[in-house]
Chain A
Amino acid sequence: MPITIETLDDSTCVSIDGELTIYTVAELAGALLPQMGAAPRLMLDLSPVTEMDGAGLQLLAVIQREAENAGTALSVTGQSLAVTQALELCRKAAS
């Protein structure tokens, strides 16, 4: 599975390895969403992500929303270039 989940004390560390795309979102959502509310803190490591598309973006948005709803503190500990580029593209602020 392209995802590893470790729980340390009050933190859950999740690392997504490989694609964060339409081909993987269903599987990733199935593994990730049950973690919401399981621990007070969720650390998301996106540095091994090789590719990200709109479906991946939507999954991240949902995780963010659900974490908030469940009262879990979400933090992204790392992100690859693919993730950075995708996020920049859809978050461009007025310059």
Chain B
Amino acid sequence: MSINLDQALQTFIVEAHELLQVMEQSLLQLENEPADQDAIGAIFRAAHTIKGSAGLFGLNPVVSFTHIVEDVLDRLRDGSVAVDTALIAVLLKSGDHMLELINVVASRGETLQPAALEREAALREALSTYQAPHSTPDTGVQNTETGAGDTSAEVLWHISLRFGVDVFRNGMDPLSFLRYLETLGQITQVTTLTDTIPVLDSWDPESCYLGFEIDLRSTASHATLNEVFDFVRDDCEVRIEAVDETSHKAVSIGSELVAQAEQGPLTASAQRLPATSEPKNRDGNYVRVNADKLDELINLVGELVIASAGASLLARSCQNDPLQEATSTVSGLVEEILDGALHLRMIPIGDTFNRFRRVVRDISQELGKDIELTISGAETELDKTVVEKIGDPLMHLLRNAMDHGIESADARRAAGKAGKGHLSLNAYHDSGSIVIEIADDGNGLNRERILEKAQERGLVASGAVLSDQEIYNLIFEPGFSTAEAVTNLSGRGVGMDVVKRNITLLRGTVDLDSRPGQGTVVRIRLPLTLAIINGFLVGIDKSTYVIPLDMVQECIELDEHQRQSSCDKGYLDLRGEVLPLVDLRNHFSHEGSAGRRQNVVVVRYAEHKAGLVVDDLLGEFQTVIKPLGKLFGALRGISGSTILGSGAVALILDIPALLNQIVQLEARTTQAPYSPTVVAR
């Protein structure tokens, strides 16, 4: 039989990764609460399932090692082995090794390197101390090839069957066995025996009194034929004989008469039932979909949005009411589809967060520090691509916090703090973005040293006056961290520019806040999705620009008088607040003069706020982001383009970059202490 299992193997690999993840989480949980039966159950089930599935694909190295792990876990489950730190440690390492096995053996189809084999031998050794004293190292691999040992020559078999009374009730159909025999050879004769059916008064239609005498010509062996009746053997008589055709006399080859009518008292199992509860059903109502297919769908939905907007526009110009109504219904539905499609890509950040529990545990042990990780907002959802790509920067920030932020227990106690350090990971939604916070209660950053270093590196003019926050954020500047900086600043800031670059690539921003002696908070702000934004259209001359709607706070009409005064000053008095203005007409060098009326769109991103001066306000528009080509890579203030329903191209404004530009510009010109006069909260 040629069954292609490649796709199923991929499923197995994904599944094994998830199960190992569960196993690790549960082991860490067990370390905290050694009596947690649910955790033990989940760990056992993970190993058990991996072993069982690996066997399906003939991944013997995986089966063989996992079998030992499962064995130990089984003893843990029935209480013969107790939870202790050493056991957790060896099981965690076993989990790592299983992951390696999956990656090497299942994913790449290779065999383990000698170093890995050595690790495995050590783990087997360590695990064996937890195994039952007499348990023989079972490979766990079964070789029960059906039909093995079939004779090649065709034999005439005679099979006598007397079925037990409960056969029907047990879901077995005698006719099915006959049909199955037909697949093994040619049935030449069948006699159905009904003579044992009792008289009507004592006959139960649901009891079976049938018997069959069958002649079968087949190449199958006696063993194979015998196996056919495995499931009914307990209460049936089965006799299988080869017929000597020359003399027409039945030769009994290992004939057997298995009539075990009395089913001995079933060994009441003292074994406890497996823990049946799991925090959440991971698989229940889910369909696994290839991410590429999803992207394709979202791309198509994007095109649909544009096409539908085009249709609406046309309908409006036709002055045909029913048509307009129809298109607006379509638009509404398309919008819902879009929301739904985008939602498909959203996954909770929790899995990524949870991965760090192990990292924190291992690194803190390595550093000899006592550090606890608190996770909140794990259910916060964001785009899958973002979730995948945020792992590395988060890891870097966490490592940094543990290496250099949190002090040793002694130093902490000397500073009057608890010996145990705290790290927290938090995620939440905030005005159309998601914010991820990494906070520690360590020593904080050294403001003076950073400033000194930055001046030395020429990142800051020597006379410049910067706010604390601006100084702290200097560590994200490229060129700030050098080998020398490592020693001088105890490493803090190493690779921070890389972290920032990765986050910027996701259209996100990062900033940092620190208090001497109390700790540091790094805030990463990310867009919810990368594919589509709700845009607000504005017009300048005949061009259209898109401002992400999430960042629009309000729109103000600017009359000629106001315009004169604010254009001169470069800011607007917004209910007593100083709002810096950017004239987009100038900014993008549009020719011609502005119309009589102009509008200000007030935008906000993080804590920065500004007003953009435009000609017309054109309303909301679902915007599918088309990335700009490489040619425009250097263009600042533009993050992408989109196609309007009319077919015209509109540029999408990169508000964070624009705001940043203003802030820098103002900082340079005003030189005010704690410069952000331009930044209104």
Q: Which residues of A contact B (CB under 8 A)?
A: 22, 25-26, 28-29, 33, 53-55, 57-59, 61-62, 65-66, 86, 89-95
Contact = CB atoms under 8 A, between A and B. Distances in A.
B208 interface: yes
19 contacts: A22-B168, A25-B205, A53-B168, A53-B173, A53-B175, A54-B168, A54-B210, A55-B173, A57-B175, A58-B194, A58-B208, A58-B209, A61-B192, A62-B194, A62-B205, A89-B190, A90-B175, A90-B190, A91-B190
A25 B168 CA distance: 11
Nearest to B187: A92
A68 to B, nearest CB: 12
B23 to A, nearest CB: 43
Contacts of A28: 205
B192 A91 contact: yes
B200 interface: yes
Given A55-B168, A58-B208, A86 B188 contact: no
Contacts of B586: none
Indicate the member of A25, A55, A59 with the most B CB atoms within 10 Å.
Answer: A55
Interface string B183-194: 000011110101
B491 interface: no
B208 A65 contact: no
B451 to A, nearest CB: 85
Given A53-B176, A90-B192, 9 more contacts: A22-B169, A26-B205, A54-B175, A54-B210, A58-B210, A62-B197, A86-B175, A90-B178, A90-B212
B175 A94 contact: no
B539 interface: no
Contacts of A58: 194, 197, 205, 208-210
Contacts of B194: 58, 61-62, 65
A57 B210 contact: yes
Q: Is the interface of A mostly helix, strand, loop or mixed?
A: helix
Given A90-B178, A91-B192, A92-B190, A22 B206 contact: yes
B188 A94 contact: yes
A61 B173 contact: no
B517 interface: no
B200 A61 contact: no
Contact of B215 (A25, A62, A66, A94): A94
Contacts of A92: 187-190
Interface string B205-231: 110111010010000000000000000
A65 to B, nearest CB: 7
Given A58-B209, A65-B194, A89 B175 contact: yes
Contacts of A86: 175
A59 B175 contact: no
B134 interface: no
Contact of A66 (B167, B176, B200): B200
A58 to B, nearest CB: 6
Contact of A93 (B168, B189, B205): B189
B632 interface: no
B179 interface: yes
Nearest to B192: A90
Contacts of A53: 168, 173, 175-176
A7 to B, nearest CB: 21
B203 interface: yes
A86 B206 CA distance: 18
A26 B189 CA distance: 30
Contacts of B178: 89-90
